[in-house]
């Protein structure tokens, strides 16, 4: 039985264990042509990069703070490394295997690259003399190591000893229309060719590295779309046996390309039910392929990696276009939410659009969609934050893909709730380059100050940019942040004028008050949030309380002014539970609208944390469903217990 048939047989009867429930596995798409499923390994926090050694060790960089080695035969854990050289791993971002079977791993927050043996022992720092602010992606060839600096966008090329021999400037790799490519991943094709994946621009670039001359871009290909040769957020790349393999995140597939950019085959199929796997791919962000035909894909959305056997010999003539089955997909809500008046705004990263809900009838009703993917003024790249203004008739969008703020205007709500596709129009934009931000800084969060001005969080500072409502004036205001390795990720204004600033890992909440001098903020207090794994979003509740979204902990925490913490949800797929929640907005009466990203839905809780409803595009319901109902698992009813016959003379 060949691998493909074995795969089909396996899939047809397989189920994926998930707690007490079971997920029917889906048939893979072209997996039987391009690559067949081998195994999956779960239990990660956020697997973001992987590498395969010559000895059959699969190393996975888990951004939660570990380097995990798996057996390439079955995915079982061989070893796990979470600290070395006197400190913990903080945010591993990239891993690559060397010719001797050892690994190099980057850590963006420790700001270093380390050398780890094939058996998991720390060997030493690598390239410590190379200037890298936030080393992220990394790749090896026979004589070179390429390392991406996530902060500057530069790529340092080193020799095997870690000495820098060349540097690719951030602005030297451009798309055919002249836009700078924001590189997310890299892979060596051979010793002189480096492949780069640019997620935001949906492009792959091939750079030639010749001794004694500056790196030269040989080719850029791609474009946004679902068809072969196109991408939707390609953020992982590998090269093997004369092919390029791209982790095409929002197309939910691994795409195989020729070295000159012709899209050919894909494996994996968009998972359409939560947690579906065993061949079904969901938001792949990294890939490694070994010459002896093993492909490993990282899916942080599902907290797992999957392994395939790529069929290097498959011919493009066999290519079948397989589009995802849409049943069950209602929404792909991203990490932003805002409300004003009776309007709630969320965004969909896969279609690069903003979704408008009307709340006036007591449940969120989808009434319009704004924008589309692209670079024109009325189009969006990557949306990071939203801020509803003026009773929901204006909306400010922070778009790091196009590096600008975009202000939209919407018609006032009509008396009758109808879907109005042309409700919104672009008012104006202001580029980030015309704001008091560092050259590559982005805006992570938006809030409305009590004086009506707009506050934008520069996470790199952290600092604030204060804008007037016309976006004409912009001033930078410093925040004297607590001493932490954590990043500021979200801000919110409380009614009393205090500003809350949320830090991700270790999670903490700092509160600031306006100082006497204009533009000055003074730290009023900082509290750790011990039960929070990765703080993602903040909202102000009444009475000095705050709500915090814990993305990795799958929970919403209510922080009271008396320092107590209350958990409002838990990990799962049933209504009232969540998976990788990412944003929230507070409604009238303290209701919490939670973006449950990992379950592709929104949920509303009352102020006490009681689940009230689940909503998405075109549907809302108030009868809570169990995990089995959500996952459409049908179980055989248990045999009814025998009812004993009533005793003679007893009650009848």
Partner 1 sequence: MISPSIVAAIVTAAIQNGGPAWHSVVSNDGSWRVEWRLVENEKPVDLPTARKRFTVELRIAPLRDGALPVQAVIVDAQMPEHHHGMNVLPSIEVGDAGRARADGMLFHMTGRWEVDVDIDDGVTSERAQWDIGMY
Torsion of Cα atoms, 296 then 300 then 304 then 310, to 10°: -20
Q: CB 476 → partner 1: shortest distance, Å?
A: 15
Q: Which stretch binds partner 1 (CB under 8 A): 249-257, 337-345, 417-425, 631-639?
A: 417-425
Region binding partner 1 by CB under 8 A among candidate stretches 25-33, 385-393, 467-475, 514-522: 467-475
Report the 10 Å Cβ neighbour count for 18: 18
Among 427, 523, 624, 633, binds partner 1 (CB under 8 A): 427
Among 31-39, 85-93, 320-328, 418-426, the segment contacting partner 1 (CB under 8 A): 418-426
Which residue number, 304 or 404, has a Cβ lying nearer to partner 1?
A: 404
- Distance, CA of 169 to CA of 189 (rounded, Å): 20
- The rounded distance, in Å, linking the Cα atoms of 63 and 49 is 9
Distance between CA atoms of residues 469 and 586, nearest Å: 22
Binder to partner 1 among 13, 416, 422, 644 (CB under 8 A)? Answer: 422
**Closer CB to partner 1, residue 420 or residue 628?**
420
| Residue 409 near partner 1 by CB under 8 A | yes
407 binds partner 1 (CB under 8 A): yes
CB of 496: closest distance to partner 1 in angstroms?
Answer: 32
Please say which residue, 293 or 427, places its beta carbon nearer to partner 1. Answer: 427
Binder of partner 1 out of 320, 361, 425, 634 (CB under 8 A): 425
User: Quick one: tokens of 315?
Assistant: 């011919």
Helix (H) or strand (E) holding 289: strand 286-290
Select from 80, 262, 434, 610 the one that contacts partner 1 (CB under 8 A).
434
Contacts 24+ apart (CB under 8 A), 492-499: 492/447, 492/538, 492/539, 492/540, 492/546, 493/447, 493/448, 493/449, 493/450, 493/455, 493/540, 494/540, 494/544, 494/546, 495/450, 495/540, 495/542, 496/544, 497/450, 498/524, 499/447, 499/449, 499/455, 499/464
Closest contact distance (angstroms) between CB of 473 and partner 1 is 9
Work out which of 36, 41, 311, 429 binds partner 1, going by CB under 8 A: 429
Smallest Cα–Cα separation from 275: which of 620, 632, 4?
632
**167, 193, 430, 440: residue in contact with partner 1 (rule CB under 8 A):** 430
Q: How far apart are CA 207 and CA 280, in angstroms?
A: 32
Q: How far apart are CA 568 and CA 611, in angstroms?
A: 9
Looking at 316-377, which runs of residues are DSSP E strands? 337-340, 343-348, 353-358, 365-370
Chosen residue from 119, 470, 522, 561 binding partner 1 by CB under 8 A? 470
Nearer to partner 1, 18 or 435 (CB): 435
State which of positions 317-346 bind partner 1 (CB under 8 A).
none
Per-residue binding letters, 198-227, with partner 1 (x by CB under 8 A): ------------------------------
Please say which residue, 415 or 635, places its beta carbon nearer to partner 1: 415
Check residue 452 for interaction with partner 1 (CB under 8 A).
no
C-alpha to C-alpha distance for 344 and 337, rounded to whole angstroms: 7
**Radius of gyration for the chain, computed over Cα atoms and rounded to the nearest angstrom:** 25
The Cα 20–Cα 40 span in angstroms is 19
Which CB, 125 or 224, lies closer to partner 1? 224
**Nearer to partner 1 by C-beta: 272 or 474?**
474
> Rounded to the nearest whole angstrom, what is the least distance from the CB of residue 380 to partner 1 in the complex?
14
CB of 430 to partner 1, least distance (A): 5
List binders of partner 1 among 352-381 (CB under 8 A). Answer: 372, 376-378
Q: Are 546 and 538 in contact (CB under 8 A)?
A: yes
What is the smallest separation between the CB atom of 313 and partner 1, expressed in angstroms?
Answer: 40
Contacts of 50 (CB under 8 A, 6+ apart): 58, 59, 60, 61, 95, 286, 287, 288, 296, 297, 298, 305
CA end-to-end span of the chain, whole Å?
A: 63
Nearest distance, CB of residue 383 and partner 1, angstroms: 18
The contact set with partner 1 (CB under 8 A) reads 372, 376-378, 407, 409, 421-422, 425-431, 434, 470-472
């Amino acid at each position: 039985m060949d691998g493909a048939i074995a795969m089909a047989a396996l899939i047809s009867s397989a189920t994926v264990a998930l707690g007490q429930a079971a997920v029917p596995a889906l048939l893979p798409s072209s997996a039987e042509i391009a690559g067949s499923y081998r195994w999956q390994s779960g239990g990660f926090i956020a697997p973001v990069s992987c590498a395969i050694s010559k000895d059959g060790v699969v190393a996975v960089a888990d951004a939660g703070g570990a380097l995990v080695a798996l057996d390439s035969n079955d995915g079982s854990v061989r070893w796990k490394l979470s600290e070395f050289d006197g400190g913990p791993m903080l945010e591993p971002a990239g891993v690559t295997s060397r010719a001797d079977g050892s690994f190099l791993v980057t850590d963006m927050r420790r700001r270093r690259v380390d050398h780890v043996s094939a058996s998991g022992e720390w060997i030493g720092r690598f390239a410590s003399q190379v200037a890298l602010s936030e080393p992220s992606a990394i790749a090896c060839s026979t004589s070179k190591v390429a390392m991406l600096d996530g902060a500057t966008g530069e790529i340092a090329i080193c020799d095997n000893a870690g000495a820098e021999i060349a540097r690719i400037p951030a602005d030297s790799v451009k798309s055919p229309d002249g836009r700078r490519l924001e590189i997310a991943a890299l892979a060596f094709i051979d010793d002189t060719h480096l492949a780069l994946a640019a997620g935001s621009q949906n492009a792959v670039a091939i750079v030639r590295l010749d001794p004694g001359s500056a790196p030269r871009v040989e080719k850029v290909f791609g474009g946004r779309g679902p068809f072969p040769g196109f991408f939707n957020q390609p953020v992982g790349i590998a090269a093997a046996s004369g092919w390029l393999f791209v982790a095409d995140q929002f197309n939910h597939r691994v795409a195989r390309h020729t070295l000159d950019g012709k899209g050919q085959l894909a494996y994996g199929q968009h998972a359409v039910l939560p947690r579906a796997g065993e061949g079904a791919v969901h938001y792949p962000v990294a890939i490694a392929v070994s010459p002896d035909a093993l492909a490993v894909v990282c899916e942080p959305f599902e907290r797992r990696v999957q392994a395939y056997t790529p069929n290097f010999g498959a011919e493009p003539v066999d290519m079948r276009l397989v589009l995802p089955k849409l049943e069950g997909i209602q929404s792909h809500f991203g990490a932003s939410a805002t409300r004003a008046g009776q309007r709630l705004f969320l965004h969909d990263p896969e279609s690069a659009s903003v979704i408008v809900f009307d709340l006036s009838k007591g449940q969120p009703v989808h009434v319009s969609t704004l924008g589309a993917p692209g670079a024109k003024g009325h189009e969006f790249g990557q949306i990071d934050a939203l801020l509803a203004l003026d009773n929901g008739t204006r909306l400010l969008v922070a778009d790091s893909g196009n590096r600008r703020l975009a202000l939209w205007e919407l018609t006032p709500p009509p008396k009758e709730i109808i879907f109005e596709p042309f409700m919104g129009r672009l008012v104006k934009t202001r580029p980030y380059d015309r704001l008091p931000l560092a050259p590559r800084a982005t805006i992570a969060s938006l809030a409305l100050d009590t004086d009506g001005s707009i506050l934008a969080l520069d996470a790199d500072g952290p600092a604030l940019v204060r804008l007037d409502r016309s976006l004409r004036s912009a001033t930078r205001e410093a925040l004297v942040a607590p001493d932490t390795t954590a990043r500021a990720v979200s801000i919110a204004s409380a009614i009393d004028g205090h500003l809350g600033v949320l830090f991700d890992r270790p999670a903490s909440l700092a509160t600031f008050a306006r100082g006497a001098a204009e533009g000055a903020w003074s730290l009023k207090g900082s509290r750790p949030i011990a039960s929070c794994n990765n703080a993602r979003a903040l909202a102000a509740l009444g009475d000095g309380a705050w709500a915090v979204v814990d993305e990795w902990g799958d929970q919403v925490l209510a922080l009271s002014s008396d320092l107590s913490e209350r958990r409002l949800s838990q990990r799962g797929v049933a209504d009232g539970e969540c998976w990788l929640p990412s944003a929230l907005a507070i409604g009238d009466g303290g209701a919490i609208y939670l973006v449950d990203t990992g379950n592709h839905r929104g949920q509303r809780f009352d102020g006490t944390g009681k689940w009230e409803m689940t909503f998405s595009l075109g549907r809302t319901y108030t009868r809570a469903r169990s995990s089995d109902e959500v996952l459409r698992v049908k179980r055989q009813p248990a045999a009814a217990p025998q009812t004993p016959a009533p005793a003679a003379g007893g009650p009848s």
